[in-house]
Amino acid sequence: MRRAASGRVERVRQNDPTLLILLSLAEGDKHGHALARDIETVAGVRLGPGTLYGAIARLEERGLIEPLAEDGRRRPYRLTRAGLAALDEEVRELRRLAAAGDARLAAAGRRLGSPRGLAGSLGTS
């Protein structure tokens, strides 16, 4: 969760570039191209260069990631302690949302006569 300039809380979507970059860097240091590849592999989301590098700049400004020494033409980034804490908070929020979704699916399944929830009633689980 983040606070917008207006003071209201903004929720992060699972395909939010900032969340995906933090998640990727939790595995280890990466440069931009490696981040993009990892994010596409793990989340199935393709980030264009403008989106990726814009999000990297915002994360760096917020102190959630930091650049490392350039490696040739590539600049790797790493997660900071503040970035790890932010990622932890976002993952906890996603888990809470998933648990609420599971409970509601189960309730809907019971209403529709399927104890396994909607997926069970459709024969997909």
> Is pLDDT above 90 for 12?
no
pLDDT of amino acid 1? 46
Conformational region of residue 81, where left means phi above 0, alpha means psi within -120 to 50, and beta covers everything else: alpha
Helices (H), the chain: 17-25, 32-43, 49-61, 81-111, 117-121
pLDDT, tens digit, for every residue of 91-104?
Answer: 999 999 999 989 99
DSSP 8: P
Mind listing the pLDDT tens digit for each residue in 36-92? 999 999 999 999 999 999 999 999 999 999 999 988 889 999 999 999 999 999 999
How many whole angstroms separate alpha carbon 89 and alpha carbon 83? 10
CATH of 2-89, one of 3.40.640.10, 2.40.30.30, 2.40.30.10, 1.10.10.10: 1.10.10.10
Note the pLDDT of residue 73.
Answer: 86
Domain ranges within the chain, ordered by starting residue: 2-89
Q: How far is CA 115 from the centre of its chain?
A: 31
